[in-house]
Structure 1
Amino acid sequence: MPPTTARERARAELTAEITDLARAQLATVGAAGLSLRAVARELGMASSAMYRYFPSRDDLLTRLILDGYDALGAAAEQADDPTAAPRERWLAVCRAVRAWARAHPHEYALLYGSPVPGYSAPPDTVPAATRVGAALGRVLGDAARAGLLPPADGTPTGLVTAAVAPVLGGDHPVLDDRVRARALLTWSSLFGAVSFELFGHFTGAVADADAFFDDAMRDLAGLVGL
């Protein structure tokens, strides 16, 4: 629910200003160097006042992580056109993830780069973190229900837990744990490809980054049967 009183609006505006400055810090000092005191100095406010908004650096990091996952997830969801063919939907979602990462490299690094020493993300970040996987899962689920996803070869593997079912397409006879294991592999491979590109690990190895990415994502789509 949006803020309704002047006091609530003022608090929301200052909270947004704090997080904007903190995101700018990510670009200069990285997540490990994030400092409430430094943000307070830039705002011209006392450190003690900052703690009324974010009691600790970890609380601020958590907010940035939630914001990042939600922004990335929204980009993936908005790219998905349910009227398109499943394979093209899949590719559109993957492209949106890459485009967001390239436009927000420091936020992406916070989400998928080196862990911040001494920080452990709380469980309430998990739903936001799974939004991209759920976007891919919707493509799989819709394809399965439309009869456009063939059954996987072989027998169920028991390699994934039941917890992935709601994220990766929901319940359908074709979506057994072998398909979900492959879907989980493709989800992680998407971020592996984006991370390799963003962090410079493809330098000197890939001739055309756009073409390489699209080709890899089509291969991953084929892996899950699209």
Structure 2
Amino acid sequence: MGVREQARAETTARIMAAARDQIATVGGAGLSMRAIARAVGLVSSAVYRYFPTRDALLTALIIESYDHLGDHLAGLPADWRARATGLRDWARVHPQEFHLIYGTPIPDYRAPQDTIPAAARAVAPFLALAPIAATVPELAQLVGFVGLELAGHFVGSEPPVEELFTAVLDRQVATLGLG
């Protein structure tokens, strides 16, 4: 890679890191190209040379998040419990990325077709374990559970969240005929 390409890659990485930091504090809906430019030390028009629109930056962040999750899940055993626990563990370490791909939709943002292969890669480890018609509802329930947990809805619950998660997994494994 030449000097120019290296500099472009480094600036792109800095822009994406600043965007991730901003999303952590204001959410995807509050993403501001001007604030990102300030954080990276660029004039606001310069950011648009790397990402022509705010939506293009959001799309890059979403694809990156799906790729991170897909990489994490691909390294786990071919077992529903291991992969479900892996998704939950990843989300707890990377809540902003989880919310970016599975949380509240960002107003006026429509994910382009470019996000579909990355999204498919993130669910493929689950779809490989059981028929798709049975897997999709269980995966939606798993994502919903993790989203509720990250939002604090199980704080102080009885039974505790760990028992609730185990019960969800027990039912899913039985429903899918995997155990």
Which category of TM-score, normalised to the shorter sequence, fits these structures?
A: over 0.9
Higher helix share: 2
Q: Match of 2:75?
A: 78
- Structure 1 residue 206, shift from structure 2 partner: 4.1
| CA deviation string 1:51-77 (max 9, x = no partner) | 110111111101111111111111111
- Name the structure 1 match of 2:53: 56
Give the unaligned 5+ runs of structure 2: none
Number of the residue aligned with 2:160: 208
**Does the alignment pair 1:99 with 2:89?**
yes
Whole-angstrom distance in 2 between the partners of 1:194 and 1:210: 11
CA–CA distance in 2 between the matches of 1:206 and 1:69? Answer: 32
How far apart are 1:209 and its partner, in Å?
A: 1.8
Identity of aligned residues (%): 46
Cα shift readout 1:142-173 (whole Å, capped 9, x = no counterpart): xxxxxxxxxxxxxxxxxxxxxxxxxxxxxxxx
Residue 225, structure 1, aligned to residue 174, structure 2: no
1:10 equivalent among 7, 23, 26? 7
Q: What is the CA–CA distance in structure 2 between the aligned matches of 1:48 and 1:26, rounded to whole Å? A: 20
- Write the distance in 2 (CA, Å) between the matches of 1:134 and 1:128: 10
CA distance 1:44–1:133, shift in 2 (3 Å): closer
**1:11: how far off?**
0.7
Larger Rg: 1
- 52-61 or 130-139, which moves further after superposition? 130-139
Aligned to 2:146: 194
The answer for the alignment partner of 1:25 in structure 2 is 22
TM-score, normalised relative to structure 2 = 0.93
8 Å Cα contact 2:62/2:115 also seen in 1: yes
Mapped partners of 2:111, 2:39: distance in 1: 26
Which digits, 9 at most, give the CA deviation of each residue in 1:104-140, with x for residues without a partner? 1122111111111111000110111122321012233
Q: How far 1:49 sits from its partner (Å)?
A: 1.1
Equivalence for 1:131: 121
Q: Distance in 2 between matches of 1:29 and 1:187?
A: 28
Paired with 1:206 and 1:33, the residues of 2 have a C-alpha distance of 35
User: What value does the CA root-mean-square deviation take over the aligned residues?
Assistant: 1.4
- The match for 1:171 is none
AA at the equivalent of 1:222: A
Shift of the alpha carbon at 1:14? 0.8
Gaps of 5+ in 1: 83-88, 141-178
Provide the TM-score with structure 1 as the length reference.
0.74
